[in-house]
Amino acid sequence: MKDLKDGIRSHVRLDFKGHVHKKFRGHQREQRCENEARILRALEERSCPYVPQLLEHHPKECYLVTTNCGQPAPEISRAKSDALFAELERQFGIRHDDPEPRNVTYSPTLGRFCLIDFELAKLLPVPGPSEPAPSAVWKVTWSSCMAGGIRRDANDDAFLALEVSPQGVRKFTTHGEALLEPSHLVLAVSDGMGGGSAGELASRLILAWVKRNAAELYHAFNENEEDSSPLLELMRNAHEGLNSLAAESPNLKGMGATLTLAWLSPGRLHLGHIGDSRLYLYRAAQSAQMTVDHTMAWSQLNKGEISEFAYRNHPRRSALYDVLGSGHATIRPQIDSHPLASGDRLLLCTDGIIDGLWQGGLAAELGSKAAPTAVAANILARARETSRDDDATLIVADIAKL
């Protein structure tokens, strides 16, 4: 067994099945053991989902075996910790004797914070009916699709989905679900450019850079949840890295990439963007483009100087004046922060999707009641019906407050 705590009041160990073994010691060990067993039974009867479950109780040995509720949660704020203990008393009638952050853990299996150590807790009457307190847990369900274009063999598009938490960084494949407490979710698309395989390399290098720096950004956003400036530094460093690498090899001359990145934390979207990939927000039956295309043609469209038809047929529609790499001396990426609302739907996509699907059709697909997997597949299919020239990549994400 693995020792978790060896103290004056108890010896706590973890077995190979993941169960927690607690041997009580010291003053009033029999009473404390009996009380914790009684509290855990009451919590199970009252269907509390975020506490250990009692598996074994050996009164004579002052010994308990329970399920494991994860690891300590040093990142939790005092406000969130206090809210958890208040909820425990209000909804389940248990008053913890030591309502401190040290008795809060995080369980990746449950996807939430949990409470432990009930040896001196007080059992109160079963609470009466009341309105459930609002939860601070946000859930994101997302799905991605990708298809190569017919103009070249290589696919210059790439996408990324990362869950970032105190336990580290976890990369997803094509779809997934994440709870944003304490985890954050990073969704990004990138479209590379350059001769030969330079474009394909550029988009993958940019997303690898995001992954490499995700843990550092996580801590920065936790310190100030409304400050998106860490994304600006990330993109400037990535830009310099692409230019430096391209300067070392003639085969990589002109290498560059777009980047549209959504960093999702509880109730907030941090946006980092450059180029002509896009982020859309669908909210309250309305679709809005949250990003700026860094092209003169899009500026004319946005100002109402040309129609969408004229924009789609503009000879320089894909001529980017701002992009990562490509030998540009400086960049001015779009860095924003927006509050999220339950029911929001996000779409991140490269220009291959926009080539084949007009704004009206895109809004109609985003308004579908279907799950992100079906919506993403439908958008890709409709876009490819009209245009298959360019690579096309998208991510659809649904936001819900639990």
Q: What is the pLDDT along the chain (402 residues), one digit of tens a residue?
A: 899 889 999 999 999 899 999 999 999 999 999 999 999 999 999 999 999 999 999 999 999 999 999 988 877 777 778 888 998 998 899 999 999 999 999 887 776 789 999 999 999 988 776 544 445 679 999 999 999 988 777 889 999 999 998 888 999 989 999 888 889 999 999 999 987 789 999 999 999 999 999 999 999 998 887 788 899 999 999 999 999 999 999 889 889 999 999 999 999 999 999 999 999 999 999 999 999 999 999 899 988 999 988 988 898 888 899 999 999 999 999 999 999 999 999 999 999 999 999 889 999 999 999 999 999 999 999 999 988 888 999 999 999 987
Task: Please give the pLDDT value at position 226.
Answer: 77
The answer to whether residues 111 and 164 belong to one domain is: no
- Decide which of 123, 152, 171 is a domain's last residue: 123
Number of domains in the chain: 2
Nearest to 141 by CA among 394, 397, 375, 373: 397
**Residue 202 belongs to domain spanning:** 138-401
Q: Cα-atom radius of gyration of the chain, to the nearest Å?
A: 26
Nearest to 222 by CA among 214, 211, 232: 214
The answer to whether residues 60 and 149 belong to one domain is: no
The answer to whether residues 88 and 112 belong to one domain is: yes
Q: Is residue 132 part of a domain?
A: no
The answer to whether residues 99 and 181 belong to one domain is: no
Q: Which domain CATH number covers 379?
A: 3.60.40.10
Give dist(CA 274, CA 305) in Å, integer: 23
- Decide which of 123, 156, 178 is a domain's last residue: 123
At a CB cut-off of 8 Å and minimum separation 6, what does 351 contact? 191, 258, 276, 277, 278, 318, 390
The answer to whether residues 116 and 147 belong to one domain is: no
At a CB cut-off of 8 Å and minimum separation 6, what does 55 contact? 19, 65, 66, 67
The answer to whether residues 95 and 154 belong to one domain is: no
